[in-house]
Amino acid sequence: MVEKLKFVLCALCAMLLVLCGSVEAQQAGNNFRIGFLDSGTAAGNAILLEAFRQEMRKHGWIEGKNITIEYRFTEGRNDSLPRHAADLVRLKVDLIVVTTVGPALAAKSATTTIPIVMMYSSDPVSAGLVSSFARPGGNVTGTSSLAPDLNTKRLEILKDALPKLARVGLLRALGNNIGQDLQLNDLRPAALALKLKLEEIEAQPDPKGLEIAFQAAKQKQVDAIMNIASRPFFAERKLIVELAGRYRLPAIYSQKEFVDVGGLMSYGADYDDLYRRAAVYVDKILKGARPADLPVQQPTKFEFIINLKAANQIGLKIPNRVLERANQVLK
């Protein structure tokens, strides 16, 4: 009887081991498909995307092993966003990662069931993407860049850095899009409050279009220049910085990556951090969390960087009171 009982117990243990092994194998073999939708370019997004991938690897998600990422870049053509979003839905991706408001709206219009994680939507509540920051509801969550508020701050920094500043050239994309409109809604009254003339200059984000835009800025006799925070302009950051130097126009940018390629000043959220935090949300959702239960996060890290070499190249003396406020001064 004892021998028989031992045999039964051994058999049960063996069955449990087989079942456990089967479950582990199934989990290990589960390959999630993630869609990535951006209105910029692959090259322009490479640095920040690597930060996203690094954070994903920390959580055990390795591209080509247990996740596949379907990349879709519109290269500045917002009109193609709905088509790319629909394509990702047809592929039955498990989750869609988007960068800004435009891609987020396109993805939300394409699906109400597939989870959507925003990298840095400027104002997701005003855009109608979520019900509130604390309780997004629906299938969208992620991080916000607070772009409208930060643009106002950039104007203030420009005025402090250039005491005689009167006219600011603002590069904006052709036509209207909700992300741009949200920023303009804050920038226009902010310029009036600071007693600055805001010269809005429409620019196609390519070499020819940007050259024309800077020529227009010079003709309008602007004292400084800045651009709407957008993916297409970010993708052309090196050229924008070169043109600002060539036309000897002080400029402030939304991201440190502009200063990395020689830009004068930047003030904004740490986008590297936003991409990493978005990856954390992707990890949570792939493990079963619902987007509706994950509050939209706002930036916690902000950077003000000044490049004195760029200032010297255009003969600009930045006041000490401004230099003292910078997180980093490059010499």
Q: How far apart are CA 99 and CA 231, in angstroms?
A: 8
Nearest-5° Cα angle at 234, 228 to 236: 110
Which residues, 6+ apart, have CB-to-CB distance to 309 below 8 Å?
Answer: 262, 330, 331
Residues with Cβ within 8 Å of 172's Cβ and at least 6 positions away in sequence, in order, are 180, 184, 200, 201, 202, 203, 227, 228
Please return the burial class of 2, using the count of CB atoms within 10 Å of its CB with bins 0-12, 13-18 and 19+: exposed
**Structure tokens of 164?**
């005689």
**Three-state SS for 204?**
coil
pLDDT per residue of the chain (331 residues) written in tens, 0 to 9: 444 444 444 444 444 443 343 333 334 447 999 999 998 889 888 989 999 999 999 999 999 999 999 999 998 788 899 999 999 999 999 999 999 889 999 999 999 999 999 998 878 998 899 999 999 999 999 999 876 678 889 999 999 999 999 999 999 988 767 778 888 988 999 999 999 999 999 999 999 999 999 999 999 999 999 999 888 899 899 999 999 999 999 999 999 999 999 999 999 999 899 999 999 999 999 999 999 999 999 988 899 999 999 999 999 999 999 999 999 999 9
Residues with Cβ within 8 Å of 100's Cβ and at least 6 positions away in sequence, in order, are: 38, 39, 118, 119, 120, 121, 122, 179, 230, 231
What domains can be seen in the chain, in order of their start residue? 29-145+271-300 (3.40.50.2300), 147-270+303-330 (3.40.50.2300)
- 168 Cβ contact partners less than 8 Å away, ≥ 6 residues apart: 155, 158, 191, 196, 197, 198, 199, 222, 223, 224, 225, 226
Contact 56, 282 (CB under 8 A): yes
Nearest to 46, CA basis, from 34, 57, 36: 36
Q: Locate the DSSP E strands across the chain.
A: 32-38, 67-73, 95-98, 116-121, 140-144, 167-173, 197-203, 224-227, 251-253, 265-269, 302-307, 328-330
User: Which residues on neighbouring strands pair with residue 167, listed in sequence order?
Assistant: 197
